[in-house]
Structure 1
């Protein structure tokens, strides 16, 4: 089993992976970190756990759209619109969670 270091929200994490998968894991983590940065730029300061949850929901929303054929990832305009919609959904969820 191999191990690599990834960065999320300016913090480093040691993660295990299969031998030879280190670069892929770093690339995936960088993708997730970039999504989190997009959320932070739109929402401002938020806690790490809330940022992680919101990033996961954003990625799940995009994956769902791709699975159902309603999103083509190679279109920047479609991606930006989808991101805006996902952020609105996540903000609504976050407000709901804060009220719990």
Structure 2
């Protein structure tokens, strides 16, 4: 288990994290610190605890919005995949119909050709 020392709102904290996650934890602490500084600029000195809670709520709101957007994008992707599957099925069905029509036409042409070669009673114009 690794440890990282971060500073948030002027206070230093020693945090534990998984090995290799030190840089990520440091980035998260900087994100929180930046949010606190941004809120201080907008609201002035409203107290450390209150500004920290405001930063936490603001970051939670941003995460919530991002989660909703991700869920909407995943739902859209699922719908598009379903449409793609339906289109592929329709394409396969159409290909089968075309193949059947071509096979039928080939059979008819072969039959007509055979009838013409064998001197069958029908003429092409009577077909």
Instruction: Report the TM-score, using the length of structure 2 for normalisation.
Output: 0.51
Query: 1:30 — aligned with what?
Result: 30
More helix by share: 2
SS at match of 1:20: coil
Query: 2:58 — aligned with what?
Result: 58
Q: Looking at CA atoms only, which structure, 1 or 2, has the larger radius of gyration?
A: 2
* Counterparts of 2:66 and 2:18, CA distance in 1: 27
Runs of at least 5 residues in structure 2 that lack an aligned partner in the other structure: 70-127
Q: Which stretches of structure 1, 4 residues or longer, exceed 3 Å deviation after superposition?
A: none
SS at match of 1:28: helix
Query: 1:4 — aligned with what?
Result: 4
Q: State the Cα distance separating 1:4 from its structure 2 match.
A: 0.8
- Give aligned pairs, total: 69
Point out which structure has higher relative CO (alpha carbons under 8 A, 6+ apart): 1
Instruction: Report the TM-score, using the length of structure 1 for normalisation.
Output: 0.63
